[in-house]
Structure 1
Amino acid sequence: MSTPMRPDEPCRRGRWPRLVRRFAPLGLALALLLLAPTIWLRLASLGHIHDQGRAPVAIVFGAQLAPGGTQPMPFLRGRLDTAVDLVRSGRAKAVLVSGDAHGGSGDEVTAMSRYLVAHGVPAHRIVVDGYGLDSYDTCRRAHDVYGVRRALLVSQGFHLPRAVSLCRSLGIDADGVAAGCRGCQTVTIAYNTAREIAAAWKAVYDRVSDRPPAVVSPANQQLTAALQG
């Protein structure tokens, strides 16, 4: 025997669709607001992330090192392997490795430079910037300190819209080249992809405020020499 429906039950059932209709536009507006910087970065980088093209320099963004502080983790190893391929194929002549020389996991740029040399990139083609403390600083210093005006940016696909947009907005004719991540766990990639939502807000703030990099340095001619040597 079925249970009799209470008199107020149809009203309760009808209440939820009305609430959904009422608050759905607000939810959509909040979602668009939350994602607005991410959408801007993707639009600004549209057409500039691909596996073609060439440039005088490839910029490799630093990332965490493995325990011990001498070997790259999968994210960074994928970026470095891609940079090696760019140099071998003639698509880039020099490599600017940019990261934190005093990072929590170790000296990122020294480990990056050693890895590149061990895999066949001539040492005189590598320039090290140990003050690329974040993506904005890497782009700003590449332009202001090392005189980069055209570059291929090497990082994972989830990071490239932000990197490309920042570098292009700072005066570098930049295209992104997606690096692989052999050995990366799906959950790690998902976490870093979601993290880009917050990072996009910081990128917009950094660019709109036109903040100087954390470390301001005079012009450096090392990259010019690497390209001429």
Structure 2
Amino acid sequence: MTITGVGVCALALAPLAWTRLAAAGRRSDVERVAHRPVAVVLGAAAWPEGPSPLLARRLDLAVALMERGRVDRILVSGDNREVSNRETDTMTRYLVERGVPADRVEADPWGYRTWDTCTRVGRWYGVDAAVMVTQSFHLPRTIALARAAGIDALGVGDSSMGARRRSTLIGYLREIPAAAKALRDALTRPDPLRSGRPDPTDI
């Protein structure tokens, strides 16, 4: 590989390295994560009959965090439009059906992107410390953006490789371009609250 090629690769991977550095020492598991007031569960695909398998695994982690006293409440954030099968309604219903008290669950219906979620839960819901809950491949970027948004963030990730191998591999590959966009968001700090809600086309 030429020097130019090496430089291009380094530039392409630099944002991914940033997410890893920002999350260093902040990823844990349900049993060992330090207490935070709230778990923030990021949305994923919802189906008409309920959460997709990856989303259900995130929600199961949040239930476990609550049961073990690692968090006091759960905030779900996602796209609650009909076109997305009402993600946050689906997430809330799933949690309550599994024993989480309804008054311990709050929903952010406009979490269209990870950056939107991180800035919104801080500015609109008063979250300044949280356990971020998502898949392991998404966790470093989530923690990095939460910290950039001013949240003292820890993270618990679902290692989904054994259960959803294809989706997980795609998720890891997607993190390369997604990390570049995340770094742009963190540096330029675009306001996701345009006229009260984020732009659903900016994904």
Please say if residues 49 and 175 of structure 1, whose CA atoms lie closer than 8 Å, have aligned partners that are also in contact.
yes
Q: 1:225 maps to what in 2?
A: none
Partner of 1:63: 44
Cα–Cα, structure 1 residues 142 and 79, in superposed 2: closer, same or farther, change >3 Å? Answer: same
Q: How is 1:86-165 mapped onto 2 (pairs within 5 angstroms)?
A: 86-102=65-81, 104-165=83-144
Q: Contact conserved, 1:74 with 1:181, CA < 8 A, in 2?
A: no
Give the paired residue count. 194
Q: Is the 8 A contact 2:38 2:72 kept in 1?
A: yes
Measure, in 2, the Cα distance between the counterparts of 1:86 and 1:159.
18
Change in CA separation of 1:104 and 1:55 when aligned onto 2, cut-off 3 Å:
same
Task: Give matches, 1:24-35, under 5 Å.
Answer: 24-35=2-13
User: What's the TM-score once normalised by structure 2's chain length?
Assistant: 0.90
Matches within 5 A, 1:169-188: 169-181=148-160, 184-188=163-167
1:208 alignment partner in structure 2: 187
Asked if 2 retains the 8 angstrom alpha-carbon contact of 1:62 and 1:108, the reply is yes
Largest Rg, 1 or 2? 1
Identify which range, 25-34 or 94-103, moves more after superposition: 25-34
- 1:187 Cα deviation from its structure 2 partner: 2.0
Q: Deviations over 1:171-192 (max 9, x none)?
A: 1000000124387432221111
Alpha-carbon distance between aligned partners in 2 of 1:217 and 1:198, rounded to the nearest angstrom: 28
CA 1:191–1:53 in 2, change beyond 3 Å: closer, same or farther? same
Q: Percent identity?
A: 41
SS in 2 for 1:212: coil
Give the alignment partner of residue 24 of structure 2, picking from 43, 46, 49: 46
- Distance (Å, rounded) in 2 between the aligned partners of 1:158 and 1:31: 20
Q: Deviation digits for residues 150-172 of structure 1, max 9, x if unmatched?
A: 10000111101110011111110
Please report the TM-score for the alignment, with normalisation by the length of structure 1: 0.80
Equivalent residue in structure 2 for 1:36, among 5, 11, 14: 14
> Is the Cα–Cα contact under 8 Å of residues 78 and 111 in structure 2 kept in the other structure?
yes
Residue 53 (structure 1) shift: 1.1
Distance in structure 2 (CA, Å) of the matches to 1:64 and 1:104: 11
Question: Any idea what SS the aligned residue of 2:122 has?
Answer: helix
CA RMSD of aligned residues (A): 1.7
Cα 1:146–1:107 change in 2 (3 A) is same
Question: Which moved further from structure 2: 208-217 or 187-196?
Answer: 208-217
Unaligned runs of 5+ in 2: 198-203
1:64-112 deviations in Å (ceiling 9; x for gaps): 012x2x4111110010000000001110010000000016431000000
Q: Residue 119 and residue 180 in structure 1: after superposition, are their counterparts in 2 closer, same or farther (change >3 A)? A: farther
